[in-house]
């Protein structure tokens, strides 16, 4: 590699001069994809004589950020400037669009030929009909005079029928092929419309002004620019694998989290297999730092009252309308017994940690065409220890939800994205991960498990009648039963609640809480934590008394 190319001036003002020569073949060699844009790098080598030259690189996306264009390289040369030149052309230079247009022209010619063939067959059918009419009269007279035998008439009719059948068969074939060609033309028109929406017939070129110091010098130029309409998002696979049971009824299992990056772009140029990198940086968000403004307070100054107009739905103030007031998973199954083969390994991307962001480079090249389709690359595979338990709120639903408490023990900051949940090899549902920093503990909902059975039944209800000046009393008791039908100890968190009084004339008391709840809030929320061995069950008894005096009770439910 030669010495770096010197840079003197970079001018981004578009000009309208003719596209210059020579042209440098500078394919895309690297792409760094950000969440909402991408930086593209093109590189090429050209041999130039001594002196000043204008080297054309392109075509480039018309919608690139003009202030992001940079030129570097290596060799005995100095970059004096770079201009962006738009070249207008009658037809698109996109190879895919050109192929589609050529195919459409071929089909248009075929449709014209089919129309001619159909017209010929129609004329032939009319000729056969006219011939049959005239021949029928002739044969009738010949039969009457004895000049023709019946076999002659039958032979003519058979020949005529064969000719007419062949003509009708050709007409059906022509119609069928015409319909197929029209359908194909309609599909091509849809594809061309899609291409036209994201690719313009105009071409943009970067014209690099280079001064070469030596004769026949080999100069390598590198052009970088930023484009919109590109980005990547995160998706995850969360897979639970069996692990040893822990004391106290908790299940300690291994959670394998696979982080995927979905790259989508419709910039107008296809990205070949190259050095693709996924960056968590947000260039638009790091351009400024927050600044505080003065916190001003003042006395309330009432607005002047103006009369409403006699007509119209909204009043007017200072020529502006015043807006109107606003109006009001299936159960997770364990892997089958036996000694399965080890799972296929997944290779994670290489990571480069920066001061505020990370850059991931997939282990294999990924080509990303400009068609808006998603292309997946594995970013990281994390093996995390997790503690599992179940959560149920039988006052709302008797489902038992599996929950995982996991600490991100990796160095990766996981970005928000949807996650598919697997228990062993079985897909059990979907959840969503929010931003997850290293060392942070999160709780993941992993779907329902019907092997943990929950029931809530009312076992007693009493109510006294109210008399003048007396206190009315309502009492109700519930029994919550939780059975563990899994082959392992289960830790189950049971949630229930007491009513909360908003009036001093309504008094709420708990008359039975067995066992005592582990947690209790001022809003009446009760939490029990039960350790249940496999094949056994536990019960929770909840009794409530509500006393009212001279008031009607609202919101009570039994």
If pLDDT is split at 50, 70 and 90, which confidence band does 284 have? low
Residue 273 domain flag: yes
Strands 51-60 and 23-24 turn out to be parallel
| Domain match, 467 and 531 both | yes
If pLDDT is split at 50, 70 and 90, which confidence band does 548 have? confident
If pLDDT is split at 50, 70 and 90, which confidence band does 353 have? low
User: Would you state the pLDDT for residue 288?
Assistant: 61
CATH number at residue 496: 2.60.40
Residues 294 and 312: their CA atoms lie apart, in Å, by 40
Q: Which one, of 55, 71, 58, 52, lies nearest residue 12 by Cα?
A: 71
Token pair for residue 327? 């109006």
User: Would you state the pLDDT for residue 537?
Assistant: 95
Strands 525-532 and 23-24 turn out to be unpaired
How many structural domains comprise the chain? 4
User: Would you state the pLDDT for residue 266?
Assistant: 87
| Domain match, 458 and 524 both | yes
If pLDDT is split at 50, 70 and 90, which confidence band does 341 have? low
Residues 544 and 511: their CA atoms lie apart, in Å, by 6
Residue 382 domain flag: yes
Q: Helix (H, G, I), strand (E, B), or coil: what is residue 383?
A: strand
User: Would you state the pLDDT for residue 483?
Assistant: 96
If pLDDT is split at 50, 70 and 90, which confidence band does 446 have? confident
| Domain match, 251 and 386 both | yes
CB 190 within 8 Å of CB 26 = no
CB 484 within 8 Å of CB 531 = no
Q: Which one, of 443, 480, 444, 473, lies nearest residue 459 by Cα?
A: 480
Burial of 132 (0-12, 13-18, 19+ CB in 10 A): middle
The residues facing 529 across adjacent strands are 493
If pLDDT is split at 50, 70 and 90, which confidence band does 346 have? low
Residue 554 domain flag: no
| Domain match, 208 and 156 both | no
CB 250 within 8 Å of CB 387 = yes
User: Would you state the pLDDT for residue 32?
Assistant: 93
Separation in Å, CA 515 to CA 79, 519, 539: 81, 12, 8
| Domain match, 88 and 208 both | yes
| Domain match, 458 and 442 both | no
Residue 149: in which H helix or E strand, if any? none
Q: Which one, of 169, 192, 173, lies nearest residue 181 by Cα?
A: 173
Higher-confidence residue of 314 and 270: namely 270
pTM of the model: 0.62
Residue 45 domain flag: no
Residue 332 domain flag: no
User: Would you state the pLDDT for residue 214?
Assistant: 85
| Domain match, 15 and 118 both | no
Residue 64: in which H helix or E strand, if any? none
> What does the pLDDT average to over 212-220?
88
Q: Which one, of 382, 358, 375, lies nearest residue 258 by Cα?
A: 382
Residue 399 domain flag: yes
| Domain match, 81 and 204 both | yes
What average pLDDT does the chain have? 80
User: Would you state the pLDDT for residue 250?
Assistant: 46
CB 249 within 8 Å of CB 94 = no
Domain boundary among 170, 192, 214: 192
Residues 255 and 382: their CA atoms lie apart, in Å, by 8
| Domain match, 429 and 456 both | no
User: Would you state the pLDDT for residue 355?
Assistant: 62
| Domain match, 12 and 58 both | yes
CB 94 within 8 Å of CB 195 = yes
Residue 467 domain flag: yes
153-162, 268-277, 355-364: which is most confident: 268-277
Please compute, for residue 275, the number of CA atoms within 13 A of its CA located in the half-sphere on the CB side: 11
Q: Which domain covers residue 59, as residue numbers?
A: 6-26+52-92+200-225
If pLDDT is split at 50, 70 and 90, which confidence band does 484 have? very high
Residue 355 domain flag: yes
User: Would you state the pLDDT for residue 259?
Assistant: 93
Q: How confident is the model over 8-59, as pLDDT tens digits?
A: 444 444 444 444 457 889 999 999 999 999 999 999 999 989 889 999 998 8
| Domain match, 58 and 107 both | no
User: Would you state the pLDDT for residue 394?
Assistant: 93
Q: How are strands ordered across the β-sheet holding 203-212?
A: 6-7, 77-87, 203-212, 51-60, 23-24
Strands 217-227 and 38-48 turn out to be antiparallel
| Domain match, 207 and 264 both | no
> What does the pLDDT average to over 64-79?
90
Higher-confidence residue of 426 and 300: namely 426
């Amino acid at each position: 590699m030669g010495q770096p190319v010197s840079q003197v001036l970079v001018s981004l003002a578009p000009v309208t001069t003719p596209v210059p020569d020579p042209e440098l073949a500078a394919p895309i060699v690297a792409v760094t994809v950000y969440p909402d844009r991408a930086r593209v790098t093109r590189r090429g080598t050209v041999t130039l004589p001594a002196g000043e030259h204008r080297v054309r690189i392109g075509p480039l996306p018309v919608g690139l950020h003009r202030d992001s264009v940079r030129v570097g390289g290596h060799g005995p040369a100095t970059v004096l400037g770079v201009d962006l030149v738009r070249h207008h052309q009658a037809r698109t230079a996109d190879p895919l669009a050109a192929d589609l247009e050529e195919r459409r022209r071929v089909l248009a010619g075929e449709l014209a030929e089919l129309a001619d063939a159909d017209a010929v067959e129609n004329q032939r059918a009319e000729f056969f009909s006219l011939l049959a009419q005239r021949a029928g009269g002739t044969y009738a007279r010949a039969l009457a005079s004895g000049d023709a035998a019946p076999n002659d008439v039958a032979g003519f009719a058979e020949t005529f029928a064969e000719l007419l059948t062949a003509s009708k068969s050709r007409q059906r074939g022509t119609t069928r092929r015409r319909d197929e060609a029209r359908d194909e033309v309609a599909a091509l028109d849809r594809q061309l419309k899609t291409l036209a929406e994201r690719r313009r017939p105009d071409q943009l070129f970067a014209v690099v002004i280079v001064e070469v110091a030596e004769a026949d010098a080999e100069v390598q130029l590198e052009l970088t620019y930023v484009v919109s309409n590109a980005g990547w998002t995160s998706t995850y696979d969360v897979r639970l694998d069996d692990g040893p049971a822990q004391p106290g009824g908790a299940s300690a299992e291994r959670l394998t989290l696979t982080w995927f990056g979905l790259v989508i772009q419709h910039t107008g140029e296809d990205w070949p297999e190259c050095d693709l990198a996924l960056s968590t940086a947000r260039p638009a968000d790091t351009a400024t730092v927050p600044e505080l403004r003065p916190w001003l307070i003042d006395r309330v100054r009432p607005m002047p009252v103006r009369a409403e107009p006699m007509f119209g739905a909204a009043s007017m103030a200072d020529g502006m309308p015043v807006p109107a007031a606003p109006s009001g998973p299936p159960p997770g199954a364990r892997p089958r017994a036996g000694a399965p083969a080890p799972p296929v390994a997944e290779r994670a991307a290489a990571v480069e940690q920066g001061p505020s962001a990370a850059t991931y480079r997939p282990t294999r090249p990924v080509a990303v065409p400009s068609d808006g389709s998603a292309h997946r690359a594995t970013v990281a595979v994390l093996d995390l220890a997790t503690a599992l338990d179940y959560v149920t709120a039988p006052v709302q639903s008797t489902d038992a939800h599996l929950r995982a408490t996991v600490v991100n023990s990796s160095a990766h900051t996981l970005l928000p994205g949807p996650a598919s949940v697997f228990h062993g090899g079985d897909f059990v549902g979907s959840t969503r991960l929010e931003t997850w920093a290293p060392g942070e503990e999160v709780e993941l909902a992993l779907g329902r498990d019907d092997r943990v059975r929950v029931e809530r039944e009312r076992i007693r209800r009493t109510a006294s009648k109210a008399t003048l000046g007396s206190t009315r009393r309502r009492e109700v008791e519930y029994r919550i039963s939780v059975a563990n039908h899994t082959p392992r100890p289960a830790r189950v968190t049971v949630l229930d609640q007491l009513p909360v009084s908003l009036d001093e004339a309504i008094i709420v008391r708990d008359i039975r809480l067995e066992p005592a709840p582990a947690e209790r809030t001022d809003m009446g929320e009760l939490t029990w934590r039960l350790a249940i061995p496999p094949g056994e069950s536990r019960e929770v008894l909840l009794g409530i008394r509500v006393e009212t005096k001279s008031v009607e009770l609202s919101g009570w439910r039994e």
